[in-house]
């Protein structure tokens, strides 16, 4: 029996043919090209100044192809924001998993955000912290969801670090307060150096001061060893 005709043991369906797999890869490639073009244009000239036709031209696809994947320009922006949010959380999670869950873990997270994300991907920062601001309720909901997920991730990291050090925060609210402040610091620092002053190199010059400020706040609210 030809391989293509064999049934998938788990699903009970025949596997996709080579031609079907090729078409699937081509669709995924076009989708990626559209997203990349939108990311570049939104960051370079602004969300409102960018048209779907321009996105199609840069992606080297038809305008109809863009609308095949996304119902409108806002849908494109929302998908980019979700992708950027996922990449941010993945970066922070990877850095945490590299460490021994000490306070230096927070230093590694800060350096990863500033150096590996902000400095290397200013277009993503422009979209998430500038172009998505003041848009529709749907866009704002995505911003809120990503913010809350980042806060939750950092709060969980703080609790794990405290447990690893056998220390307890001075109040139940402290880990969440710190997490909100850390995400806010990241937000404002990225805006200040990358969007408002356009000095991407200076963001790393400020890293030590930012990290020291952040760790000082953590130490202030992290009590002594539990009696």
CATH label of the domain that carries residue 59: 1.10.10.60
Give the pLDDT confidence score for residue 224 in this predicted structure.
Answer: 63
Give the pLDDT confidence score for residue 176 in this predicted structure.
Answer: 94
Give the global pTM.
0.79
Shared domain check, 221 and 127: yes
Question: On the CB side of 6, how many CA atoms lie within 13 Å of its CA?
Answer: 6
* Total tally of structural domains belonging to the chain: 2
> 87-114 b/e with 16+ CB inside 10 Å = b?
ebbeebeebbeebeeebebbbbbbbbbb
Give the pLDDT confidence score for residue 66 in this predicted structure.
Answer: 95
Sequence-distant (6+) residues with CB within 8 A of 222 are 162, 165, 167, 168, 169, 170, 174
Residue labelled with tokens 């997270």: 109
Positions of the chain with pLDDT lower than 70, given as ranges: 1-14, 194-195, 197-204, 224-227
Q: How far is CA 189 from CA 193, 195, 215, in A?
A: 6, 10, 16
Report the DSSP pairing between strands 222-225 and 167-169.
Answer: antiparallel
In a domain, 225, yes or no: yes
Give the pLDDT confidence score for residue 47 in this predicted structure.
Answer: 94
Shared domain check, 140 and 28: no
Residue labelled with tokens 């994300």: 117
Give the pLDDT confidence score for residue 225 in this predicted structure.
Answer: 52
Give the pLDDT confidence score for residue 17 in this predicted structure.
Answer: 82
Q: Is 158 left (phi over 0), alpha (psi -120 to 50) or beta?
A: alpha
Shared domain check, 148 and 49: no
Nearest-angstrom CA–CA distance, 219 and 31 = 46
Give the pLDDT confidence score for residue 200 in this predicted structure.
Answer: 61
Range(s) of the domain holding residue 128: 74-227
CATH code: domain of residue 222: 1.10.357.10
Shared domain check, 32 and 117: no
Give the pLDDT confidence score for residue 227 in this predicted structure.
Answer: 40
Shared domain check, 117 and 104: yes
């Amino acid at each position: 029996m030809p391989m293509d005709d064999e049934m998938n043991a788990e699903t009970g369906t025949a596997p996709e043919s080579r031609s079907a797999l090729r078409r699937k890869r081509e669709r995924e490639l076009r989708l990626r090209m559209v997203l990349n073009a939108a990311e570049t244009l939104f960051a370079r000239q602004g969300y409102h100044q960018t048209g779907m036709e321009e996105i199609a031209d840069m992606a080297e696809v038809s305008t109809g192809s863009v609308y095949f994947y996304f119902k409108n320009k806002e849908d494109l922006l929302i998908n980019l924001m979700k992708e950027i949010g996922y990449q941010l959380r993945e970066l922070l999670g990877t850095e945490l998993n590299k460490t021994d869950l000490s306070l230096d873990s927070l230093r590694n997270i800060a350096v990863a955000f500033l150096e590996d994300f902000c400095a290397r991907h200013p277009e993503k920062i422009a979209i998430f912290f500038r172009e998505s601001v003041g848009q529709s309720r749907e866009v704002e909901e995505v911003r809120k969801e990503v913010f809350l997920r980042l806060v939750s991730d950092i709060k969980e990291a703080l609790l794990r670090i405290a447990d690893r050090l056998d220390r307890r925060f001075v109040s139940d609210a402290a880990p969440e307060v710190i997490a909100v402040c850390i995400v806010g610091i990241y937000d404002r620092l990225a805006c200040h150096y990358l969007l408002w002053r356009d000095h991407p190199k200076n963001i790393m010059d400020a890293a030590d001061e930012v990290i020291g400020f952040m760790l000082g706040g953590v130490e202030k609210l992290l009590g002594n060893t539990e009696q």
